Structures are given as structure tokens and as C-alpha cells.
Chains A and B, each alone.
Chain A
Amino acid sequence: MSENAGLDWHTRLLELLPNLRAFANSLCRDTDYADDLVQQTLLKAWKSRYSFHEGSNLKAWLFAILRNTFLTELRKKKYEAEDPDDELQNSLTSRGGQQSHMDMLDFELALSKLTQEQREVLILVGAEGVSYDEAALICGCAIGTIKSRMNRARERLCELMGVRGAEDFGPDKSDLGQNTVAPS
């Protein structure tokens, strides 16, 4: 590492902070805890920076550290924002029989009911925009596993929302007519 490595490292970590924080938030769904996770990730990354291979994917490396930290703590503390009274589930399933409207609150609730593995893959690939390869790297599994988790996550999300097609999405749907594929 060069003399300026400390400075470069500092800048590069700073640039990725919003993404790290958003990913942490999506994983644990608790702002304070997400900030703790980010802080721990920064410390670990700084400590291990000499083991990072220059030219490889820094974002994937940091996300993997954050994810591992989260999972280790989850196992240790059995921390999970569960829904003990199943209020979320009830609120979702009660609407399942209707032509449900998908607003953002419903979406977030449904997302929170997914397994941790399903949620993280949706966030990584669908929102953060990482490739299947990168997601496999971050999650420490095969690309095929990521793809099947992704499919299952989408299916489960739709199931929870009572959504069967794009037409079931709520009023804040985006440009349905312009950006979607015309039915054959």
C-alpha cells in the first residue's frame, strides 16, 4: 500500500457509506442498529485493509463484512425484529383476498416478512444493483443459489401482497403504460 493509502481508503469508504447504511438498514430494519453495524464494518474494514486485494470489488467486500457482522450478531443475540403478535401478517393477509393495492407501506411490510436471505438478495440485486456474481460473493454462495433465492423472494413477496399481476399495484405505480411490456 502506498503512503497515501490511508487517505485513499478514507475517501473510498466515505463514498460507500450511504450504500452501506442503506444495506444495513434493509437487513435489520432498525436505524440505530444499522448505524452500529456500519460502524463495526468500518472498523473491521480499516483493520483488515491490507488483506483487501487492490482492484477487486471494494463494495462487495464491505457488504460481505457488514452481512457477516449482522449474521454473527443475529446468531449471538438471536436478534430479529420479529412480529410476535403477527400483526403485520394479519394486516397483509386480510387484504389478500381483495384486488390488493400495493402501496409502499404494504411493500415494506411484505419485505419485512421475507426471510433474511430472501430480503438481502432482493435488496442487493433488485435495489443496490449488484450483479448475480457480486451477490454470490457477498452472500458466500453459488450464483444459482442467488437466482433461485431471487425467484422465491419475488414469489413470496407477491404472495404476501396478494398480488398476481402488475395491474394489482396501487395508485403510485410508475408509468405502467410506458415502461411495461404489452401483453401478447
Chain B
Amino acid sequence: MPDDPSTKDQNDNNLMYSAMDNDQPPERSAAEINLEKMIGDRLKQYYAARLSRPLPDKFADLLRDLAKKEAE
């Protein structure tokens, strides 16, 4: 059945608000966004310190041995 033009806009509005009520995450405040950013920054610093640790040779040796065995 085609949409009744007189009620279509109202229906669209209702659908939109209904979608906003049900699907949209609540709007976050600037304070929440800033806090998330700060936590993100700390996490990255924490992880970067671990990423930059020098790798011991044993891993490369292990992989080389495995590749060598594979080739034989």
C-alpha cells in the first residue's frame, strides 16, 4: 500500500526518533571524550615501551632453525 503523503513525514519522524531512542549510543560529553583520549594515550605509552624492548636473538634463531629444517 502506498504511503499516505499526509502522514508520511510524521511517520518518518517517528521512525527517526524511534531509531535514535533504540540504536544510537547516548551522546558523550566533551569530558568523557577527553578522558577516553587520555586513557588511550596512556595505553599507547605503556604498549610502546613494550614494543620497543630489544628482541633477544633466540626468536630469530628458532625461526631460522625451523626454516632450515623445512628446507632440508
Using a CB–CB cutoff of 8 Å, the interface residues on chain A facing chain B are 6-7, 9-10, 13-14, 17-19, 21-22, 25-26, 35, 38-39, 42-43, 46, 102, 104, 107-108, 111, 122-123, 126-128, 154, 157-158, 163, 165-166, 169, 173-174, 176, 179-184
Give the total of B residues in contact with A, Cβ under 8 Å.
Answer: 34
CB distance from A22 to the nearest CB of B (A): 4
Tell me whether chain B's interface is mostly helix, strand or loop, or mixed: helix
Q: How far is the CA of A86 from the CA of B44 in the complex (A)?
A: 27
In the A-B complex, the 6 residue pairs with the closest CB atoms: A127-B47, A166-B34, A22-B50, A6-B70, A126-B43, A180-B34
Check A183–B60 contact: CB distance below 8 A.
no
Quick one: which of B43, B51, B59 contacts A19, CB cutoff 8 A?
B51
Return the chain B residue nearest A147 by Cβ.
Answer: B25
Check A183–B31 contact: CB distance below 8 A.
yes
CB distance from B64 to the nearest CB of A (A): 7
Tell me whether chain A's interface is mostly helix, strand or loop, or mixed: helix
Residue B71 at the chain A interface, CB threshold 8 Å: yes
